[in-house]
Structure 1
Amino acid sequence: MTAYDDLMAHARETEALAQVAGRLGWDQETMMPRGAAVQRGEESAAMEGVLHARRTDPRIGDWLARAEAPDAVAEANLREIRRSFERANKVPARLAAEIARVTSVAQGAWAEARADEDVAAFVPTLARVVALRQEEGQALAQGGDIYDALLDDYEPGAKAAELDAMFAALRPRLVALREAILARPQPAALAGEFDETAQLALSRELAGVFGYDMTRGRIDKAVHPFCSGSGNDVRVTTRTDPADPFNCLYSTIHEVGHASYEQNVEPDYLLTPIGRGVSMGVHESQSRIYENQLARSPAFAGWLLGRMRDAFGDIGIDDPMEFARAVNRVSNGYIRTEADEVQYNLHVLMRFDLERALISGDLAVTDLEAAWNDRFAADFGFAVDRPSNGCLQDVHWSVGLMGYFPTYSLGNVYAGCLHQALRAARPGLDDELARGDLSGATGWLRETVQRHGALHAPRATIEAACGFAPSEAPLLDYLETKFGALYDL
């Protein structure tokens, strides 16, 4: 065997073990008995210890030095292995263990503070998490930008300064569009209660319409919808609300976007470093284009209205355009995960700016609540009423995910670019959507983005699919055109 063969055999086993670790997390959120939490923590920690040891195995350095890449696939695998190996070895084992320990405790402290609406109780814990992530960023950056080093975990190659310029161009037009929409009459809401069993049945039907392969996946309920796994075992979760079936249906479609990306990677890449989505931003582009540009389009909404009537009977809306307005309703709210398509990115941009300030030291953790409340009022036009609707609403910072938030908006920007290219490639897309036929759209995404996995770098993946460099312009143009028509602006 060559050095490359030895390296790939080691990588395949590591990837397989990582999938097992991921399945432990899926089970914890769906089926694990409540009393197993402490034991599961020990099991997960043991798995992470094994994975860290494999990812820092000194033999990897030797194999990398001697390995030769016979083709582009091998080059990409070596790139991903080298990146993981170098990053893992820059962070001292002591620091990695302390981050794991503190963030495990911090998540519980955050949940308790959130329940008690008590920011002050969480400040000391969050300050410790921020300090540890600053230390980790310094180890990774080695004299470079600390936030960029953390961002690289989620969006390899991205730079905060570039994202800052892109987001600065998003913000004023989004604020102006939000204000124009909210000045218009609001659409009618759905009426009645919606049976949970019927919601789940329709959500499974929609998953199939969007190409999710249930022979290699499953749909379960969880408090927070998510997608887990890759290759031939990709699972999604959703949630139900008897007063709001859209929560279930669109959460399912969103997670199916993630799942389809993982299911559609080239089978030959299975359990290799490139056999998964290349970044969180590209991953989010798939979930957002499935959920928004496709499933919330007026054309598809007309088809969905018929399926809603079949499933639930009278829903209080008969007109397809009124139903499309209901699907795309824009309204004031505090919660990022419940935000409409127009306002969602404003929630993310605020978090991006705040966490950069925390990591740089320009914002003290003790001042976070005031900074959050001031920015929220400036962007959304009303005041935060309580911490659980403010700086305590997201779990991300408690578990140390600094650098994750901007990938949500980057994914939306990528989705806007992909949507523009998709419509150019399929000029009859609205007719297809009106028939409930997603095969053309999802097939185009499979061929241009999903099947490549992590073969190419994130930005290169999007640029190759679209034929042009990513920018915020297609997303803004799409939002203004769509909501201008829906709200008669």
Structure 2
Amino acid sequence: MTAYDALMAFQHTTEALGQVAGRLGWDQETMMPRESAGQRAEEMAAMESVLHARKTDPQVAAWLAEIDDASLDTVGQAQMRHIRKSYARTMKVPADLAAEIAKVTSRSQGLWAQSRADEDVSGFLPVLDEVVNLKRQEGQALADGGDVYDAMIDDYEPDMTAAELQAMFDAMRPRLVALRAAVLAKATPVHLSGNFPSGAQMKLTRKLAKTFGYDMSMGRIDKAVHPFSSGSGHDVRITTRTSEDDPFNCLYSTIHEVGHGCYEMGIDDAYALTPLGRGVSMGVHESQSRIYENQLGRSKAFTSWLFTEMQAAFGDLGVSTADAFYKAVNCVHDGYIRTEADEVQYNLHIMLRFDLERALMSGDLAVGDLEAAWNDRFKADFGYAVDKPSNGCLQDVHWSVGLFGYFPTYSLGNVYAGCLHETLRKAVPDLDGRLAMGDTTAATGWLRENLQQYGGLRSPHETIQHASGMTPSPEPLLSYLEEKFTALYGL
């Protein structure tokens, strides 16, 4: 057995253990008994200690030193790129710090969920302060004298920096704000009304998942406080949530998570339980969830099919035509919740979080001042006040589990999706005709063939460029939004 073969065999087990740790997290958010939180935190810490020990095993260093990457094929070189980077990163973070982060964030997640339900910011801030301090220590170790927030972003979007993201947001904000103002000046909100039982929503949401290519023989759909996806390969699970007065919350959360799940399911089986066997970055991951949810799922063509399906499931919807239903799906209106935001305003929610978490990590914003800072910024950006913490700084799970640097990848995913959609439209000229029949296979098949199957083979930038044939840029997204909402609202 060569050093490369031995390393890949070792890595296979490490990847499998990582999937087990992920399953513990999935269980915690879906099925775990409430009083099990303390024990689960210990279990998560133990798993992180095992994973950290494997990733920093001296034998890994010996194998890395022996392997000549130039002698490997393209796949082997890509595997080594990921393993070398992971090894260098893990060696910078002390094992006890990694275990403590896993333990505290597991406990913090439960406290966040309870504080969110109780509308009690004060009950959550002490543990959030612990998380921020621990993550700042991790960021400092990873940055090695460089920018702490850049080091955190790199965990989710390799080679991306805060400066690049800031430049992207600066380019996007004026056109988004102008489009929002133009739409809101003419908008007459269209909403559904009727009876939308949770059971009927879950039945339809499973049909939607299958419609978009989610393989239920390798996955499942459960409920969680905050929708998410988990796993890779042949075990990819997603969650959604229901609100009996807002079925779109459930249906479009599901389509979004199906985009994530189908990416993982679509990766070449040859890469299973290797570094290439998962999505290459969260920005690329979000490109899949956002194009499934928005450019496909909220299109006029697809909503004409969904309108009929919802009438069959729920009866009277409060709107009588497919055109009115399309306007309801794409209604631009005031709202607090990021995951429920329309396409025009969504990225403005991300910009708020991007600025606040950068300030938290730099120490410019104290955790104790977070609620006031959030509320002030929200009022300035959206023009109305936050009414309760679950609509403000307690709405997202991310900070409770230490995902600092994650939020900007949502907007990056929107930008990537804009590039992919522009190319997809050219590749599948009869796309709307297919979507109007509830047939997504041409679109999802194109995404699987051109992007999903490759997993982590290329860098994020190269992945999007290979699939779309263009250098990633916000222009396709902004043009799509302006064209869609100009037509929708008669601007």
Letter of the 2:418 counterpart: G
CA contact (8 A) 2:226 2:397 kept: no
Q: 1:216 to 1:159 in 2, by over 3 A?
A: same
User: 1:328-358, CA deviations, whole angstroms, 9 ceiling, x for partnerless residues?
Assistant: 1111111212212211111111110111122
CA contact (8 A) 1:126 1:365 kept: yes
Structure 2: distance between partners of 1:337 and 1:5: 43
Of 102-111 and 330-339, deviating more is 102-111
User: Which residue of the partner structure matches residue 254 of structure 1?
Assistant: 256
| Long gaps (5+) in structure 2 | none
For the residue of structure 1 that corresponds to 2:230, the secondary structure is strand
User: Which residue of the partner structure matches residue 21 of structure 1?
Assistant: 21
Q: CA deviation at 1:132?
A: 2.5
Q: CA deviation at 1:84?
A: 0.8
Q: CA deviation at 1:93?
A: 1.9
Is 2:282 aligned against 1:274? no
User: 1:75-113, CA deviations, whole angstroms, 9 ceiling, x for partnerless residues?
Assistant: 111111111111011011232233334434444554555
CA-atom RMSD, angstroms? 1.9
User: Which residue of the partner structure matches residue 401 of structure 1?
Assistant: 403
For the residue of structure 2 that corresponds to 1:382, the secondary structure is coil
Letter of the 2:13 counterpart: E
Structure 2: distance between partners of 1:229 and 1:340: 28
Letter of the 1:53 counterpart: A
CA contact (8 A) 1:151 1:158 kept: yes
User: Which residue of the partner structure matches residue 362 of structure 2?
Assistant: 360
Compute the TM-score of the two structures, normalised by the length of structure 2.
Answer: 0.95
Letter of the 2:431 counterpart: L
Of 75-84 and 196-205, deviating more is 196-205
Is 2:54 aligned against 1:54? yes
Is 2:223 aligned against 1:221? yes
Q: CA deviation at 1:234?
A: 0.9
Structure 1: distance between partners of 2:51 and 2:273: 14
CA contact (8 A) 1:220 1:238 kept: yes
Q: 1:437 aligns with which of 414, 436, 439?
A: 439
Letter of the 1:340 counterpart: D
Letter of the 2:174 counterpart: P
User: Which residue of the partner structure matches residue 188 of structure 2?
Assistant: 186
Q: 1:323 to 1:274 in 2, by over 3 A?
A: same
Letter of the 1:64 counterpart: L
Q: CA deviation at 1:188?
A: 2.8
CA contact (8 A) 2:48 2:98 kept: no
Letter of the 1:27 counterpart: D
Structure 2: distance between partners of 1:198 and 1:478: 33
CA contact (8 A) 1:175 1:379 kept: no
Structure 1: distance between partners of 2:126 and 2:197: 44
Q: How does 1:182-331 map to 2 (within 5 A)?
A: 182-331=184-333
Q: CA deviation at 1:47?
A: 1.9
Q: 1:63 to 1:448 in 2, by over 3 A?
A: same
User: Which residue of the partner structure matches residue 45 of structure 1?
Assistant: 45
Q: 1:443 to 1:311 in 2, by over 3 A?
A: same
For the residue of structure 2 that corresponds to 1:216, the secondary structure is coil
User: Which residue of the partner structure matches residue 33 of structure 2?
Assistant: 33
Structure 1: distance between partners of 2:110 and 2:315: 42
Q: 1:201 to 1:124 in 2, by over 3 A?
A: closer
Of 256-265 and 218-227, deviating more is 218-227
Q: CA deviation at 1:449?
A: 0.8
Q: How does 1:460-475 map to 2 (within 5 A)?
A: 460-475=462-477
Compute the TM-score of the two structures, normalised by the length of structure 1.
Answer: 0.95
Q: 1:335 to 1:13 in 2, by over 3 A?
A: same
Q: How many corresponding residue pairs?
A: 489
Q: 1:166 to 1:74 in 2, by over 3 A?
A: same
Of 131-140 and 297-306, deviating more is 131-140
Q: 1:30 to 1:51 in 2, by over 3 A?
A: same
User: Which residue of the partner structure matches residue 93 of structure 1?
Assistant: 95
| Long gaps (5+) in structure 1 | none
User: Which residue of the partner structure matches residue 11 of structure 1?
Assistant: 11
Of 193-202 and 121-130, deviating more is 121-130
Of 97-106 and 115-124, deviating more is 115-124
User: 1:355-384, CA deviations, whole angstroms, 9 ceiling, x for partnerless residues?
Assistant: 112222333334433332232122111122
For the residue of structure 2 that corresponds to 1:153, the secondary structure is helix
Letter of the 2:362 counterpart: S
For the residue of structure 1 that corresponds to 2:236, the secondary structure is strand
User: Which residue of the partner structure matches residue 391 of structure 2?
Assistant: 389
Structure 1: distance between partners of 2:103 and 2:297: 41
Structure 2: distance between partners of 1:205 and 1:262: 19
User: 1:37-68, CA deviations, whole angstroms, 9 ceiling, x for partnerless residues?
Assistant: 33333333222221111111111111111123
Structure 2: distance between partners of 1:394 and 1:33: 22
CA contact (8 A) 1:155 1:281 kept: yes
